[in-house]
């Protein structure tokens, strides 16, 4: 099944077109790296795909559910936004119990899952402290657990390793791989290109609201004209090339993998 499918998905804010006519097909169980410069429309896309923002036109289905069917959609998707909202007067354990309650998740199984996830992220020892006393990384870990609690089919992650120390960041990256192995589709937006290079099966690059390149990282690198041997090309070269204002660079970009312009 296709995990994410969008047709002509568009969002306008007044005169600004944040996302323009986006056609995406993301198969189940893959890690999809969603890249783009600041203001390219990544957050807006994720907000539309999680039913937090309505498209101006076009449509989308996630896990087979139309995104305008919010009630059913939220059972199937998880979202870790860049600045996750948490009740800072609660402890992490209370926050997670509260979130599970909102979703009507079975108590015992959920509590076991919470403990496993907290333990994996090295947060068990702090789980009964109030979130307002947490570091940025501890808040991030709490929000990450919250996005996963209901075992979503499709998980949207916006800069999931933001503020995390190297060990915690590595744990999250490993969890992303494990989730995909278990069949979860992970839609990963980050500016940390080596993470995308290592973990994403497919990369999509958004520029000015449009998808300007898409394909497996290796294919994109092979086809990028970075003036270097293939081995030395990085995803950063691809990114800079396909998001360039320079029309000459626009001509000679990543043809083939799926250059979608």
Q: Which residues bind ligand ATP (CB under 6 A)?
A: 13, 16, 18, 36, 38-44
Q: Quote the least distance from Cβ 61 to ligand ATP, whole Å.
A: 20
N- to C-terminal Cα distance for the chain?
A: 25
Q: How far apart are CA 38 and CA 92, in angstroms?
A: 31
Length of the chain: 261
Nearer of residues 21 and 122 to ligand ATP, judged by Cβ: 21
Phi, psi angle pair for 218, to nearest 5°: -60, -40
Phi, psi angle pair for 59, to nearest 5°: -145, 165
Nearer of residues 44 and 202 to ligand ATP, judged by Cβ: 44
Q: Quote the least distance from Cβ 93 to ligand ATP, whole Å.
A: 30
Nearer of residues 36 and 55 to ligand ATP, judged by Cβ: 36
Instruction: Please give the C-alpha separations between residue 212 and each of 3, 170, 239, 253, 254, in angstroms, as whole numbers.
Output: 21, 29, 10, 9, 9
Nearer of residues 13 and 98 to ligand ATP, judged by Cβ: 13
Q: How far apart are CA 187 and CA 178, in angstroms?
A: 14
Question: What are the structure tokens assigned to 123, written together?
Answer: 């947060």
Q: Quote the least distance from Cβ 11 to ligand ATP, whole Å.
A: 8
Nearer of residues 101 and 194 to ligand ATP, judged by Cβ: 194
Nearer of residues 209 and 217 to ligand ATP, judged by Cβ: 209
H/E element, 140: helix 136-148
Phi, psi angle pair for 77, to nearest 5°: -120, 150
Nearer of residues 77 and 206 to ligand ATP, judged by Cβ: 206
Q: Quote the least distance from Cβ 209 to ligand ATP, whole Å.
A: 7
Q: Quote the least distance from Cβ 42 to ligand ATP, whole Å.
A: 3
Q: Quote the least distance from Cβ 33 to ligand ATP, whole Å.
A: 13
Residue 123 near residue 141, CB atoms below 8 Å: yes
Instruction: Please give the C-alpha separations between residue 219 and each of 13, 214, 258, 261, in angstroms, as whole numbers.
Output: 34, 9, 9, 16
Q: Quote the least distance from Cβ 135 to ligand ATP, whole Å.
A: 22
**In which residue are the tokens 């059913």 written?**
72
Using DSSP's 3-state secondary structure scheme, residue 47 falls into: helix
């Amino acid at each position: 099944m296709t995990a994410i499918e969008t047709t002509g998905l568009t969002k306008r804010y007044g005169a600004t077109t944040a996302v323009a006519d986006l056609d995406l097909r993301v198969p189940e169980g893959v890690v999809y790296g969603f890249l783009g410069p600041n203001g390219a429309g990544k957050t807006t896309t994720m907000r539309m795909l999680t039913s937090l923002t309505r498209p101006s036109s076009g449509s989308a289905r996630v896990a087979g559910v139309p995104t305008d069917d919010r009630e059913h959609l939220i059972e199937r998707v998880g979202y870790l936004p860049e600045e996750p909202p948490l009740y800072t007067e609660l402890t992490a354990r209370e926050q997670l119990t509260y979130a599970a309650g909102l979703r009507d998740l079975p108590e015992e199984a959920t509590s076991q899952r919470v403990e496993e996830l907290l333990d994996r992220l090295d947060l068990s020892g702090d789980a009964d402290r109030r979130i307002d006393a947490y570091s940025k990384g501890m808040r991030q870990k709490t929000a990450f657990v919250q996005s996963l609690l209901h075992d979503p089919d499709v998980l949207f992650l916006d800069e999931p390793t933001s503020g995390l120390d190297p060990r915690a960041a590595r744990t999250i990256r490993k969890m992303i791989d494990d989730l995909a192995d278990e069949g979860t589709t992970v839609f990963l937006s980050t500016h940390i290109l080596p993470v995308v290079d290592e973990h994403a099966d497919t990369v999509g690059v958004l520029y000015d609201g449009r998808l300007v390149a898409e394909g497996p990282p290796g294919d994109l690198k092979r086809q990028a004209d970075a003036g270097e041997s293939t081995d030395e090309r990085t995803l950063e070269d691809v990114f800079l090339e396909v998001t360039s204002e320079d029309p000459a660079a626009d001509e000679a970009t990543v043809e083939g993998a799926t250059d979608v312009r």
